Amino acid sequence: MKLAILGGGGVRIPLFVRGVLSRPGTSFSEICLFEPDQARRETIGRLSVEVAAALGHRAIVRVTADVEEAFTGADFVFSAIRVGGDQGRLIDEEVALRRGLVGQETIGPGGCAMALRTIPVVLSYCQTLARCAPGAVLINFTNPAGLITQAVSLHATVRAVGVCDTPSSTLARLTEFLDADRHSVAFSYGGLNHLGWISSFTVAGREHVGTVLERYEELQRFDHQFAAFDAGFVRRLGAIPTEYDYYYYEPRRYVEAVAQAGASRGADVLRLNSGLLTDIAKAFDAGDVRDAWHAYSTQMGIRRASYMRTDIAGEGMPLAAPAAGGPAPDIDHDAGDLGPAGGGAEVRPGGYEGVALQVIAALTDRAPGAVIVNTRNGGCLPFLDPDDVVEVPAHIDGGGIAPLAGGELPRSARGLVTQVKEYEREVVRAAVTGDAERAALALALHPLVPGVTVAREMMSEYRERHGPSLAYLH
C-alpha cells in the first residue's frame, strides 16, 4: 500500500515513521511525504527518510514538493497541515486573548480563524486527490479536525474520516486508573471533536462511571488532564468530560492561567519548533542521523512535557517545561533509541497517528472493529442532523464506517453540542461562499464569544493580520 502525508514536514512525522517501520510486517510499501516548505523538507523530511533507512527501509520513505506526485497511486492520505504555520496559530490566540477570551487553536475564535484559513486549502487538495487517486481514503487530523472533516464530507467527493486521540487516550487512562484489563472494557462516548463525554464505562459488564465520579479527586491526582475540572461539577454532570471540555467549562481560569504564564501555548510551540528545526539542522551538519534523532527526541520530550501546562496552571500544575539541558522524557515508550537494536520497548506510534493506523487496519479488514472517529452522524446523536460530522465510536471494516449508537449525553452537554454544531455549520458555509459577514456571524454563535459586535471586531482583525490566507473572504 502507498500512504501519502499532507504536511510531511510536521514535527511528529519522524516519530510516526519510526513507529510504523519498527513494527513487524509493516504494510506500507511506500510512504510519500508532501511538504512545500523547503526548510522542513531538509530537516524533518530528511530525518524521516534517514530514520527509515537506518531501520532497513531505505526505499520506502521519500519527500516531495509535488502534491500530484504524492497522491498518485495512494491508497490512504493523512492530512496534517497547518495553513499559516506556527505564526498563524499565535495570531489566532492573541486576537482572542487580548479581549479576555479563550485563545485556543481549535476552539472558539482561534479555531474559527484556523478553519477559515484551512478549509479552502484542504478542499483544493481534495480536488487533486479525486483526480490522482479517486479510490483513496483521506484520514484527516488537520485541526480543527471535526470542522475540517465536515467541510470535506459535504463539499468534496473523496472518502474521508477524521481522527483524534483525545477520546482514546482518556479511555486508556481510565482503564489504567481502575487497573482493568482493556479487553474487558466497554464504554459509551459521544460529542464533537474536542467536545466529548464518556457517559458509560463498564469493566466485565459492571458499570464504573459512578465509581470514577466518587473517586474523582483520586483520579485527578492520578492524571493531570482530569485536574482541569471541578470535581463537584463533574459529579453533578454525571459524565466524564474529555480534556478539551475544560475550555468551555473554565474559560476564565484558562485566560488567567495564560496571563500568569506570560505566553500562550502557541507562543511556546513557536519557540520550541524553531529550536527543534535549528537543532536538527545543526546535528545533521555535525554528525549523522543518530545525532539528529537525539536532538529531535530531546526537543519533542520537552514539548510533550509542557502540553496544556500553560492552559491549566494552578496548584500542582507546573507552568514551565523541563529545562532544555535536562533529560528528555521518553516519547511513546523509547523515542530516544533510534533502532530496535537498542533493546528498548516495542515502539508503537501513539496519539492520532496510532488511531489513524487503527482505521487503516480496520478498512483493509486486517483488524476490523470499533474506533472513535469523526464521521457522518446518521442517527447516532438524534438531536443533530444526519449529515453532521460527530465524534463517536464506529464499526469499521472493509465495507466502510458505520457509526454506533451511543449512550445518553447529559442534557447540558446536548445543549452545548447543538450550539457548537450550528456554529460549525455556519463556518463551513462561510468558507465555501467566501462571505466575510457570514464568517463573523458564525463566530458570534460560538458559546465562548460574547456577541456579534466582538465577533465582527475579531474577524476584521483576523482578516487584516492573516492577509493572503483570508483574502478570499469578501
> What is the mean pLDDT of each successive set of 10 residues along the chain, which is 474 residues long?
96 89 78 96 96 91 98 97 96 97 96 98 98 98 97 98 95 97 95 97 97 98 93 97 97 95 91 92 90 90 77 48 33 44 36 85 94 96 97 97 89 98 98 98 98 98 98 98
Residues 144, 148, 150, 151, CA torsion sign: positive
237 C-beta neighbours (distance < 10 Å), count: 21
Where are the domains positioned within the chain? 2-83+102-162, 254-339
3-state secondary structure the chain: CEEEEECCCCCCHHHHHHHHHHCCCCCCCEEEEECCCHHHHHHHHHHHHHHHHHCCCCCCEEEECCHHHHHCCCCEEEECCCCCHHHHHHHHHHHHHCCCCCCCCCCHHHHHHHHHHHHHHHHHHHHHHHHHCCCCEEEECCCCHHHHHHHHHHHCCCEEEECCCHHHHHHHHHHHHCCCCHHHEEEEEEEECCEEEEEEEEECCEECHHHHHHCHHHHHHHCHHHHHCCHHHHHHHCCEECHHHHHHHCHHHHHHHHHHHCCCHHHHHHHHHHHHHHHHHHHHHHCCHHHHHHHHHHHHHHHHHCCCCCCCCECCECCCCCCCCCCCCCCCCCCCCCCHHHCCCCCCCCHHHHHHHHHHHHHCCCCCEEEEEEEECCCCCCCCCCCCEEEEEEEEECCEEEECCCCCCCHHHHHHHHHHHHHHHHHHHHHHHCCHHHHHHHHHCCCCCCCHHHHHHHHHHHHHHHHHHHCCCC
What one-character DSSP code corresponds to residue 376? Answer: E
Query: 6 - beta bridge partners?
Result: 34, 79
What one-character DSSP code corresponds to residue 164? Answer: -
- Please state, in angstroms and rounded to a whole number, the distance separating the CA atoms of residues 431 and 248: 24
- Please state, in angstroms and rounded to a whole number, the distance separating the CA atoms of residues 469 and 431: 12
What kind of architecture, by CATH, is found in domain 2-83+102-162?
3-Layer(aba) Sandwich (3.40)
pLDDT value at position 144? Answer: 97
- Please state, in angstroms and rounded to a whole number, the distance separating the CA atoms of residues 387 and 394: 15
Least Cα distance to 136 among 58, 67, 81 occurs for: 67
- Please state, in angstroms and rounded to a whole number, the distance separating the CA atoms of residues 110 and 90: 9
- Please state, in angstroms and rounded to a whole number, the distance separating the CA atoms of residues 303 and 325: 13
Cβ atoms of 128 and 71 within 8 Å: the answer is yes
- Please state, in angstroms and rounded to a whole number, the distance separating the CA atoms of residues 313 and 253: 8
pLDDT value at position 337? Answer: 57
pLDDT value at position 24? Answer: 64
pLDDT value at position 309? Answer: 66
pLDDT value at position 345? Answer: 28
What one-character DSSP code corresponds to residue 238? Answer: T
pLDDT value at position 378? Answer: 95
Least Cα distance to 212 among 243, 186, 234, 184 occurs for: 234
